Amino acid sequence: MTGSAADAVQDGWMLIRPFAPTDTDAVVALWTASGLVRPWNDPRRDIERKSTIQPELFLVGEIDGAVVATAMAGYDGHRGSVYYLAVDPARRRQGLGRAIMTEVERGLVAIGCPKLNLMVRSDNRGVIAFYRGLGYGEEQSASLGKRLILDES
């Protein structure tokens, strides 16, 4: 997401590029292995939805043709958000999460996004520490939600 959001970026040994439909099975497997899939969020439906809105902000990282990292971002004109940041559990602590988040931030800045928000489950201390290491801090706000479409099968 450097020059154009559709550009592929080689970050060291990981290629970061926009998601392609042929990545679906590998992405769902990565999200499952990373503990991101929940019964109330069908990952395939989330992918379909993202493919219709700012698809250039859905990134995958690959090494030797294998999907090893993902980040799904969006911008609503006020703030950016990131979801589904995942790194292959066998490849963690190698800088892959940092690299893909750097590309997310670059892409959002390129379209004028002034602030990025993200949500982490409060018991996921390792991920909270990861984001703190990237300069993110906890804010004094409550996250409220309301399910509008049920994905449960």
Where do the structural domains in the chain lie, given as residue ranges?
9-133
| 9/17: higher pLDDT | 17
**What CATH homologous superfamily does 9-133 map to?**
Gcn5-related N-acetyltransferase (GNAT) (3.40.630.30)
The average pLDDT across 71-93 equals: 92
The two structure tokens encoding residue 115: 């602030």
What's the confidence (pLDDT) of residue 8?
Answer: 57
Over 90: is that where the pLDDT of 10 sits?
A: no
Q: Cα separations (Å) of 136 from 93, 117, 124, 131, 149? A: 18, 9, 15, 5, 30
The average pLDDT across 83-104 equals: 91
The average pLDDT across 128-135 equals: 85
How confident is residue 108, by pLDDT bands cut at 50, 70 and 90? very high
Q: State the pTM of this model.
A: 0.82
How confident is residue 5, by pLDDT bands cut at 50, 70 and 90? very low
